[in-house]
């Protein structure tokens, strides 16, 4: 993964009434063995465009198969993960702030009740060209590059809002039977750095749910056991901090909920196939 950012001096002064481009990432086939594990962005929306191949992504409550031509919307605060280990896939991902759509919560480009996968179809080449141009201009950093990237990005947003994101048939199906499991998952996402024990759920008056039933349904719904999910959630946040902060590996380990930095490093390498330091060296340019 190659990730490029606009200067903070530019993003801070830009018109607050418009969404503002923050970064773009390029993921190629060679990155598939280093998954971007469960994570969320509190103030950033992401647009992911699959340009070659296919693979699976996890968004909030379920897994989706995505392929060339698919556009994925990650609203802010939505937990997601990309895993393409056995697939050849290439994609771009743009992150941006300042989203405030009429009738939606801050940080939501689409309704949270809407399916987040969209088909670009005949618009694919146009959209792909905009992603590629943003990446190349930001990589080359010539005169006025930040303004140029922002203008191309705004063209992309207008195209998506006037066409592709208008699909009214993209609504999620509700399953009220799993509401309590989903509520516990929401609690886990909001408190993933804290200790969590499945056995304590039975005595918690908020849920009062059988721990065996919960663990079984959680794995069935999300593909991971509750403990595996929390581990990947913590590793995902650690990946973000390794890329975006200068905190030490030990500091990051404690911030995301690990008491032992040695165990953190071991688990990180098991999941990502790189040590925390190797990951930072590879993806921080």
The proportion of the chain whose per-residue pLDDT surpasses 70, expressed as a percent, equals: 88
Quick check: 285 pLDDT over 60? Answer: yes
150 in the same domain as 20: yes
218 in the same domain as 122: no
Q: Which residues pair with 46 in a beta bridge?
A: 74, 95
Number of domains in the chain: 2
Using 50, 70 and 90 to split pLDDT, how confident is the model at 128?
Answer: very high
125 in the same domain as 6: yes
Average pLDDT value for residue range 74-102: 87
User: Integer distance in angstroms from the first to the last C-alpha of the chain?
Assistant: 11
Residue 276 to residue 282: CA distance in whole angstroms: 10
| C-alpha atoms less than 13 angstroms from C-alpha of 59 in its C-beta half-sphere | 20
Residue 235 to residue 231: CA distance in whole angstroms: 6
243 in the same domain as 149: no
Identify the residue with better confidence: 208 or 186: 186
Say if CB 68 and CB 51 are below 8 A apart: yes
Using 50, 70 and 90 to split pLDDT, how confident is the model at 207?
Answer: confident
73 in the same domain as 15: yes
155 in the same domain as 220: no
Angle between helices 261-272 and 226-244 in degrees, nearest 10: 90
Most confident stretch, 111-115, 132-136, 176-180, 186-190: 132-136
User: Which CATH number covers residue 276?
Assistant: 1.10.10.60
Residue 171 resides in a domain: no
pLDDT for residue 32: 63
Residue 188 to residue 226: CA distance in whole angstroms: 9
Q: What is the dihedral of CA 161, 162, 165, 166, to 10 degrees?
A: 130
Query: What integer best gives the mean pLDDT of the chain?
Result: 88
258 in the same domain as 158: no
Using 50, 70 and 90 to split pLDDT, how confident is the model at 146?
Answer: very high
Q: Which domain holds residue 236?
A: 176-283
116 in the same domain as 184: no
Average pLDDT value for residue range 25-40: 79
34 in the same domain as 7: yes
33 in the same domain as 61: yes
């Amino acid at each position: 993964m190659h990730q490029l950012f606009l200067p903070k001096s530019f993003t801070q002064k830009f018109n607050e009434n418009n969404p503002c481009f923050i970064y773009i990432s390029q993921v190629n086939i060679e990155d598939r063995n280093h998954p971007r594990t469960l994570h969320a962005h509190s103030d950033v929306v992401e647009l992911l465009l699959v340009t070659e191949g296919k693979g699976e992504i996890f968004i909030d409550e379920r897994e989706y198969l995505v392929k060339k031509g698919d556009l994925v919307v990650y609203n802010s605060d939505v937990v997601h993960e990309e895993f393409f280990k056995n697939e050849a896939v290439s994609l771009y991902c743009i992150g941006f702030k300042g989203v405030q759509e009429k009738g939606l919560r801050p940080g939501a480009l689409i309704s949270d009740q809407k399916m987040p996968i969209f088909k670009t179809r005949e618009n694919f080449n146009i959209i792909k060209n905009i992603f590629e141009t943003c990446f190349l201009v930001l990589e080359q950093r010539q005169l006025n590059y930040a303004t140029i990237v922002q203008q191309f990005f705004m063209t992309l947003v207008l195209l998506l809002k006037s066409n592709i994101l208008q699909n009214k048939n993209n609504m999620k199906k509700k399953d009220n039977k799993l509401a309590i499991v989903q509520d516990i998952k929401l609690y886990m996402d909001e408190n993933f750095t804290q200790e969590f024990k499945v056995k304590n759920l039975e005595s918690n008056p908020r849920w009062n749910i059988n721990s065996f039933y919960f663990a079984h349904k959680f794995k069935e719904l999300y593909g991971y056991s509750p403990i595996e999910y929390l581990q990947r959630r913590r590793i995902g946040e650690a990946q973000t901090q390794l890329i975006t902060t200068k905190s030490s590996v030990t500091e990051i380990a404690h911030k995301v909920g690990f008491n032992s930095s040695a165990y953190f490093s071991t688990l990180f390498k098991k999941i990502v196939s790189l040590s925390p330091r190797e990951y930072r060296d590879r993806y921080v340019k």
